[in-house]
Amino acid sequence: MSNSPLFSTYRGGENRVTSSMIAVFQRLELSLLERLLGACAQESALQLVAFVNQPAGVGASVPDARMSAQFDYWFETKTVPNALDQTQLLEHHKNLTAGAKHERLFIVTPDPEKSSVLDSLDDERVIWFNFRAMSDAIDEILGDTTTFVGEQTRFLLRELQQLFIEDGLLDFADVVVVAARRAWDEYNERGVYICQPDRSFRAGLTHMGFYAHGAIQPKIAKILDQRPEPITFDLDTVKELRGGTAIDQRIAVDAIEASLDGGVRSAGQPYRVFVLSQPNDDETVTLALPITNTTKAASGRTWAWTMSQRYTRLSALTKPGITTTTELEAGGG
């Protein structure tokens, strides 16, 4: 993202997306903000300020004009899919005054579809939309040649879109596909994925795929557990985890003990561990065929689809007829 002072102010904050979004709203013309929120909410009657010529006043008063504003908008944003909490939303709903038509509770998430959690809020003033809807609304506004939008406003809106892209809020990726020359065999044998301690992954992932032998392999495992903190591979950790949950025991046996006994990893070193559904579990998605890599470099030479990790969507991977990475990308993956 660019070094815009507006956004760099919030860059290190816990919720920089919300802070940046509100900072942009503060700088938009009211008519433009009305249009943006109205498009997101699919509510054409949304109005922040009313301008009336010769309004009826008190008694015989008929002034030349009146400009008035009465609205109260609340926002709850989530940057991780499937993160809405019913209890929290019910508490937020208490901020709306019964019968107050000028009040709204806007709920913004990266989810592709409205969550069933919102079914408990039977109030038309509670409005959900996703970051994709806001990005599309920005495109519509900036592409409208009949509406003048200043250069500074264009810059801010495009920067906001770029922030959404950088934080993975527009593509709804729920699958990470890892380069798996060795990891594919390890997964088939033990149902785990082990990597470097400092490896970072996008939030909101539900499944893991494996890119090996020039193709995305047909087993797409469900992620049952991923520890954000590295785990030290030694006998003390094995002893500690053996007395824990079923997941703890799988980490102890399938990840640590198997690695140390096989000599494939160093004792005393930390690693990140993903516990996955086994290849033949019902939770594992099995594709009809491997998805063959057809990605080409500029020279025409086949290029690896991923050299580390790459994100895609489960719905794209499981579309009928997807057999190549070119078809996968064309299908939204």
> Do the Cβ atoms of 43 and 73 come closer than 8 Å?
no
Q: What pLDDT does residue 7 have? A: 53
Measure Cα distances from 279 to 109, 140, 201, 258 in Å.
Answer: 32, 45, 22, 18
195 and 95 within one domain: no
> Do the Cβ atoms of 173 and 312 come closer than 8 Å?
yes
Rounded to a whole number, what is the largest CA-CA distance in the chain? 93
166, 189, 212 - which closes a domain: 166
Tokens read off for 9: 């102010």
Per-residue pLDDT, averaged over 141-155, amounts to 89
136, 166, 196 - which closes a domain: 166
180 and 158 within one domain: no
Tokens read off for 324: 């190549």
Between 31 and 166, the more confident residue is 31
Residue 144: is its pLDDT beyond 90? no
194 and 135 within one domain: no
Residue 98: is its pLDDT beyond 70? yes
| Range with lowest mean pLDDT among 45-49, 69-73, 303-307 | 45-49
283 and 226 within one domain: yes
Residue 129: is its pLDDT beyond 60? yes
The rounded distance, in Å, linking the Cα atoms of 72 and 90 is: 17
| Range with lowest mean pLDDT among 48-57, 106-115, 148-157 | 48-57
Between 47 and 34, the more confident residue is 34
Q: How does pLDDT run across 308-321, given as a tens digit for each residue? A: 999 998 888 999 99
Per-residue pLDDT, averaged over 227-245, amounts to 94
188 and 148 within one domain: no
189 and 144 within one domain: no
The rounded distance, in Å, linking the Cα atoms of 312 and 319 is: 13
The rounded distance, in Å, linking the Cα atoms of 278 and 306 is: 23
The rounded distance, in Å, linking the Cα atoms of 147 and 28 is: 14
Share of the chain above pLDDT 90, in %: 60
153 and 29 within one domain: yes
Residue 12: is its pLDDT beyond 50? no
142 φ/ψ angles, rounded to the nearest 5 degrees: -75, -20
Per-residue pLDDT, averaged over 51-63, amounts to 84
Residue 5: is its pLDDT beyond 70? no
166, 184, 202 - which closes a domain: 166
Tokens read off for 101: 């038509």
Q: How does pLDDT run across 203-235, given as a tens digit for each residue? A: 778 999 999 999 999 999 999 999 889 999 999
| Range with lowest mean pLDDT among 119-133, 134-148, 227-241, 270-284 | 134-148
In terms of Cα–Cα distance, which of 167, 183, 166, 175 is closest to 272?
183
Looking up residue 208, the CATH number of its domain turns out to be: 2.30.130
Average pLDDT, the chain: 89
Q: By residue range, what is the domain housing residue 259? A: 175-330
192 and 68 within one domain: no
Question: pLDDT band at residue 10, thresholds of 50, 70 and 90?
Answer: very low
The rounded distance, in Å, linking the Cα atoms of 171 and 69 is: 36
DSSP assignment letter at 97 = P
181 and 80 within one domain: no
Between 102 and 173, the more confident residue is 102
Residue 11: is its pLDDT beyond 80? no
111 and 26 within one domain: yes
Residue 8: is its pLDDT beyond 60? no
Residues 6 or more apart in contact with residue 20 via CB below 8 angstroms: 6, 7, 10, 160, 163
183 and 96 within one domain: no
Per-residue pLDDT, averaged over 301-312, amounts to 89
Question: What domain count does the chain have?
Answer: 2
